[in-house]
Amino acid sequence: MPVKGLSKHLARLRRLQGPAMTKAVSKALFAAGELIEDEAKGLIMAGSVSGKQHVASLPGEPPNNDSFTLHNNIETARTADPLVVTVTSNAEHSTPLEFGTSKMAARPFMRPARDAKVKEAQALVAKAVNQIAKKGA
């Protein structure tokens, strides 16, 4: 006895593992990375004052911007794997600020940005998968 809708289901499964899916998810992941990047930059800029009026952030709060070095060194990048995107802060003082040191409490900004945008990132990827699965390339 033939299975009703088998050919449509098989076509949907092929789309889920095809290049169109990889391309769509890669694009969604990069957009999600940019959301996280923008959030991290926003956390640094919120309430900060540069120059003589600069006040350091309190422990546990994101660092306040002073010289734009931290802000300007956050970037979203693709890797060799099309399904991996990185959001990094390449400023020299990023790690001590994010995790703290023996002499300074952490002032995290990357992890809170990730946490704030995780649902939006998941929604972008889910939308990309659904579009390919339902409509095709």
Can you say whether residue 110 is alpha, beta or left, with left for phi > 0 and alpha for psi between -120 and 50 degrees?
Answer: alpha
> Quick check: is 92 in a domain?
yes
Torsion angle, CA of 23/27/32/35, rounded to 10 degrees?
A: 170
Residue 58 placed within a domain: yes
Greatest Cα-to-Cα distance within the chain, rounded to the nearest angstrom: 81
User: Is 2 part of a structural domain of the chain?
Assistant: no
* Residue ranges of the chain with per-residue pLDDT less than 50: 136-137
Report the number of distinct structural domains present in the chain.
1
Would 112 be classed as within a structural domain?
A: yes
Residue 61 belongs to domain spanning: 32-135
Q: What is the dihedral of CA 64, 91, 43, 125, to 10 degrees?
A: 180
Q: Is position 10 within any domain?
A: no
Answer whether residue 108 is part of any domain. yes
CA distance 87 to 35: 10
What is the model's pLDDT at position 76? 98
The letter for the amino acid at 51 is G
105 is a domain residue? yes
Phi, psi for 69 (deg, rounded to 5) = -60, -50
pTM for the structure as a whole: 0.83
Which residues, in sequence order, are bridge partners of residue 85? 78
Task: Supply the pLDDT for residue 94.
Answer: 92
Contacts of residue 47, Cβ cutoff 8 Å, sequence gap at least 6:
64
What per-residue confidence (pLDDT) applies to 19?
85
pLDDT of residue 135: 72
Whole-number pLDDT of residue 137: 44
According to DSSP, the residues that pair with 77 across neighbouring strands are 86
Residue 5 lies in a domain: no
